[in-house]
Amino acid sequence: METTSVLKFERISSRKAGDIANAIQGMPVNEALNITTFSDRKAAALFGKALKSAIANAEHNNGADVEELYVKRAVAEQGPTLRRGFYGARGMFKPIAKRTSHIRVVLSDERA
């Protein structure tokens, strides 16, 4: 049994969020929640939010036991990029790419 939770259009680049995804992948849910709770990174808070949502989905929709759940897959996929910018020296336009991510957490009751 698998349960999925997705946070869409979060204002963080997928490269910055990827290392937290790699850190919690394959862990039991309790350890993954500890990592996301006590990390100072913005991505950790976002993955914690998605993880709590996936746990609630597993309990409510599938009747799963929280103690047996593992993080099967945690991914920060690239979302759309907002194109912004400002005018710099000599009136030249300086582009800025404001990147977004889709954060996906998949929980399973089978050890990966």
Q: What range does the domain containing 73 cover? A: 2-108
Structural domain count of the chain: 1
pLDDT averaged over every residue in the chain: 95
* pTM of the entire predicted model: 0.91
- Report whether pLDDT(109) > 70: yes
Q: What CATH number did the domain enclosing 89 receive? A: 3.90.470.10
Q: Is the pLDDT of residue 110 over 90?
A: no
pLDDT at position 26 is 94
Per-residue pLDDT tens for 19-61?
999 999 999 999 999 999 999 999 999 999 999 999 999 999 9
Residue 92 CB-density burial (10 A; 0-12 exposed, 13-18 middle, 19+ buried): exposed
CA angle (99, 54, 49) in 5-degree steps: 50
Q: What's the rounded Cα separation, in Å, for the pair 94 and 108?
A: 45
Question: At residue 111, does pLDDT exceed 90?
Answer: no
**90 — alpha (psi -120 to 50), left (phi > 0) or beta?**
left
pLDDT of residue 33: 96
The proportion of the chain whose per-residue pLDDT surpasses 90, expressed as a percent, equals 94
User: Above 70 in pLDDT, residue 112?
Assistant: no
